[in-house]
Amino acid sequence: MILIAAVAMFDSRASALPDPTGKFPGGLGPGFYPFWSAAMIAGAAVVVIYRWFVTADIGEGVFARREAWTAPLKIAVPMIVAVAFIQWIGFYFVTGLYMGFFAKFIGRYRWIWVIVIAILFPAIIYFAFEKGFRVFLPKSKLYEQGFPL
Amino acid sequence: MDILNGFTSTLGSLAGGFGTALQPFNLLLLTIGCFLGLVIGVLPGLGGTSGVAILLPITVFIANTGPGGSTSAVIFLAGIYWGALFGGVITSILFNIPGEPWSVVLLFDGFPLAKKLGKPALALSSSFFASFIGAFIATVLFTFFARALADVALAFGPAELFAVFIMSFATLIGLGSESPAKSVMMIGFGLLLAAVGFDTITGAPRLTFGRIEILSGIGFVPVTIGLFGMGEILASAEEQGIGFVERLSAKVGLKDIVETLGELRKRIWTVVITAVIGFWFGVLPGHGATAGSFLGYGLARQYSKNKENFGKGEITGIMAPQAAADASAVGSLVPMVALGVPGSPTSAVIMAGLFIWGLQPGPLLFIDHPDFVWGLTASIYLGHLITFTMCLLAVPLLAKIMHAPYAIITPFIVIISIIGSYSLNNSMFDVFITIAFGFVGYWLRKMKYPLAPLVVAIVLGDSTERELRKALIASGGSPLIFVGSPLAATLMILAIILLLVPVIRNVRERRARSSSAEPAA
């Protein structure tokens, strides 16, 4: 947070202070608002850090238990991989693979059900969004060669 | 005479609102919204705010192509909110797992009444009746108070509006349950995010670092879907896993309803009073149903003759927080409609919807879009009635939703979230923002940072800056304009008092600690 605040304050430092010369309407330049918002973060961060030092915290650490970081990772990693692949293989293939992956490795489903889920869900989404709401979701690289998805 | 005229005029407008809300398309959307809200409320990995945020992009199509325009869209979104308010109750009482933050308090007495005393149907119907009565009382107050507040707010200039925004932030800091420093940090973060992109007055790019994608700013919707939708999924993966230990079943029958009505008659004043207090509490910015439910429980316990029964299945411990929670949720829409200030994180998301549909939240809504405001008001009455009926009839069906496999529900929510963030601007950049803010939301939850100040600040950031600069332009740069009118000065003084609340609280706690330590020394 302090880093974000420092970068924002540095970026908007040029017009951070009120300018009574009439250069800006009302005396405030474009940097005033972001600079002082960032200053607010920095000031509050100092207080939070101070309180963290002076308060004796004998509780367990943030990721002390193994499940505390493995459980979110099981969700986060496939999610990042899926999003990274959308622009290459398109949304519908990603949905199928992503849903199938969860069904197989988290749900421990049999392969037949994995295949059903991997086909059914993209199909439902295609008809609901692409055909129903006319929301055109990202297609694969093959789309430009005439492939429908 | 004026009061009578105002009263009849409001009733006439409300009748028109019922005409709008009862149109078949709007009624269908309201029913779907309430049902989706119930499902969202029952699913522990997804909150009402997340549900509203994830489904917000769909409302763009409803607003653009539906026969009711933005009125249909807001009726749909609000329906999700009302449904989620009821839905969380079912899992709290039957499974000892809160489906929503505002149903956490039901674990204290709801589950014990259901399990230890063997009365799950009574526990459920008590909470449904209390919710319905609380919401009804709050909606009547909403009908008359929102209009009156909007009439007052029409006289506000930029200085007064800026003072209102400052007071909203001060309320979040002064009356928030988390550390004030953390609330300040979240408000600063929200204001900073709102400042990204073109400066609306000078046209200069701010905090864009040469990236074209963010010249128009960081979208509120992708950020909210990330903070609430993705963040909640990651947090619940850690907190709850997939195994549920306790599972009760219940069906609410006529006998249970008769028994509930008997219990309700004994506690009707408690329910009415907590509903009225919950409503006014909800009107304060940043305090939605969750804070309202705890307030209702605390008040009921404090003034109960049967304090010792609380925590063991006391029906007042179910009815009071439920009435207060629903009343707070309705109350949180008052500042949104009348002042353009969201009263809770969920109403902040609904307010973002108003911006997306091309409406300006605030007092002018009553003049420029009366169909919208009164259609929404009537839909609050109808939405609660529909949800209440669904709950009484379909508890076993709704409870079955909890059995939906984790390995399907979780990735499906992720996929729907991605669609939601992508579809507004057809932008993969927005999807990346959603994912990034999913981790931010997870981390903030984990480090116990409050999300409400962040969301409210993102939504109000632009308006706050605009009113600040408009006021200064009007005054030729003199900051005295902010104390120039009695109203602005009063609001500013109130804001300062609210900001001093944590300081005073801190000093009193230290004094109490030192005085209790002295005798020992």
Judged against a pLDDT cut of 70, whether residue B399 lies above it is answered with no
Cα separations in angstroms, B364 against B361, B390, B429: 8, 35, 34
Q: Are B325 and B276 in contact (CB under 8 A)?
A: no
Provide the 3-class DSSP secondary structure of residue B225: helix
Mean pLDDT of B227-239: 78
Judged against a pLDDT cut of 80, whether residue A23 lies above it is answered with no
Rounded Cα distance between A69 and B230, Å, is 16
A110-114, B18-22, B203-207, B405-409: segment of lowest average pLDDT? B405-409
pLDDT digits (tens, 9 = 90+) for B318-339: 888 888 888 888 888 888 888 8
Rounded Cα distance between B96 and B264, Å, is 23
pLDDT of residue B521: 47
A72-76, B31-35, B138-142, B341-345: segment of lowest average pLDDT? B341-345
Q: Are B165 and B422 in contact (CB under 8 A)?
A: no
Rounded Cα distance between B408 and A62, Å, is 28
Q: Are B54 and B416 in contact (CB under 8 A)?
A: yes
Q: Are B267 and B323 in contact (CB under 8 A)?
A: no
Burial of A88 (0-12, 13-18, 19+ CB in 10 A): exposed
pLDDT digits (tens, 9 = 90+) for B86-102: 877 877 777 666 666 67
Q: Are B166 and B497 in contact (CB under 8 A)?
A: no
pLDDT of residue B231: 83
Rounded Cα distance between B141 and B380, Å, is 12
Provide the 3-class DSSP secondary structure of residue B245: coil
pLDDT of residue B245: 39
Rounded Cα distance between B171 and B169, Å, is 5
- What does the block give as tokens for B470? 């408009």
For residue B243, name the pLDDT band (cuts at 50, 70, 90): very low
Contact B410 A80 (CB under 8 A): no
* Residues of A whose CB is below 8 A from B407: 102-103, 106-109
pLDDT of residue A95: 92
Mean pLDDT of B5-21: 83
- Chain-centroid distance, C-alpha B63: 22
pLDDT of residue A6: 87
Rounded Cα distance between A126 and A92, Å, is 8
For residue B436, name the pLDDT band (cuts at 50, 70, 90): very high
* ipTM for the predicted complex: 0.88
Mean pLDDT of B488-495: 86
- Chain-centroid distance, C-alpha B215: 30
What does the angle CA B8 – CA B12 – CA B18 come to, to the nearest 5 degrees?
A: 140
Q: Is B14 left (phi over 0), alpha (psi -120 to 50) or beta?
A: alpha
- Rg over alpha carbons for chain A, rounded to the nearest Å, is 25
Burial of B305 (0-12, 13-18, 19+ CB in 10 A): exposed
pLDDT digits (tens, 9 = 90+) for A96-112: 999 999 888 888 889 99
| DSSP secondary structure string for all residues of B51-111 | HHHHHHHHHHHHHHHSTTHHHHHHHHHHHHHHHHHHHHHHHHHHHS--SSGGGTTHHHHHH
pTM over 0.80: no
Distance from CA of B39 to the nearest CA of A (A): 19
For chain A positions 92-131, those within 8 Å of chain B (CB to CB) are 95, 98-99, 101-103, 106-109, 117, 121, 125, 129
- What does the block give as tokens for B249? 């079943």
Judged against a pLDDT cut of 80, whether residue A144 lies above it is answered with no
pLDDT of residue B185: 92
B157-161, B176-180, B207-211: segment of lowest average pLDDT? B176-180
Provide the 3-class DSSP secondary structure of residue B206: strand
Contact B465 A33 (CB under 8 A): yes
Mean pLDDT of B49-65: 80
- What does the block give as tokens for B211? 């990236």
As a three-state string, the secondary structure of B113-140 is HHHCCCCHHHHHHHHHHHHHHHHHHHHH
Among all residues of chain B, which has the CA nearest to that of A49? B181
A43-47, A59-63, B498-502: segment of lowest average pLDDT? A59-63
pLDDT of residue B188: 93
Contact A98 B414 (CB under 8 A): yes
Highest mean pLDDT (candidates B139-143, B239-243, B496-500): B139-143
Mean pLDDT of A36-62: 79
Contacts of B273 (CB under 8 A, 6+ apart): B299
For residue B400, name the pLDDT band (cuts at 50, 70, 90): low
Contact A11 B207 (CB under 8 A): yes
- Contact with chain A for residue B404, Cβ under 8 A: no
Cα separations in angstroms, B297 against A30, B304, B317, B505: 47, 10, 6, 22
Rounded Cα distance between B501 and B487, Å, is 21
Which has more pLDDT, B493 or B228?
Answer: B493
pLDDT digits (tens, 9 = 90+) for B129-157: 998 999 899 999 988 888 777 777 767 78
- Cα-Cα-Cα-Cα torsion B444, B446, B450, B455, nearest 10 degrees, comes to 40
For residue B401, name the pLDDT band (cuts at 50, 70, 90): low
Across all residues in chain B, what is the average pLDDT? 81
pLDDT of residue B13: 84
Which has more pLDDT, B26 or B344?
Answer: B26
| DSSP secondary structure string for all residues of B28-41 | HHHHHHHHHHHHHH
* Length of chain B in terms of residues written: 521
Which helix or strand (DSSP H or E) is residue B227 part of? Answer: none
Measured N-to-C along each axis, helices B120-153 and B316-331 cross at an angle, to the nearest 10 degrees, of: 30
Distance from CA of A10 to the nearest CA of B (A): 10
Which has more pLDDT, A132 or B317?
Answer: B317
Rounded Cα distance between B179 and B173, Å, is 8
Burial of A54 (0-12, 13-18, 19+ CB in 10 A): exposed
| DSSP secondary structure string for all residues of B247-296 | -------HHHHHHHHHHHHHHHHHHHHHHHHHHHHHHSTT--HHHHHHHH
Eight-class DSSP state of A15? G
Percent of chain B with pLDDT over 70: 90
Tell me which residue in B61, B238, B408 faces A71 most closely, judged by beta carbons: B238
Contacts of B99 (CB under 8 A, 6+ apart): B41, B42, B43, B44, B87, B88, B89, B90, B91, B92
pLDDT of residue A42: 92
Tell me which residue in B188, B233, B415 faces A95 most closely, judged by beta carbons: B415
Residues B397-409 as b or e (16 or more Cβ within 10 Å = b): ebbebbeeebbbb
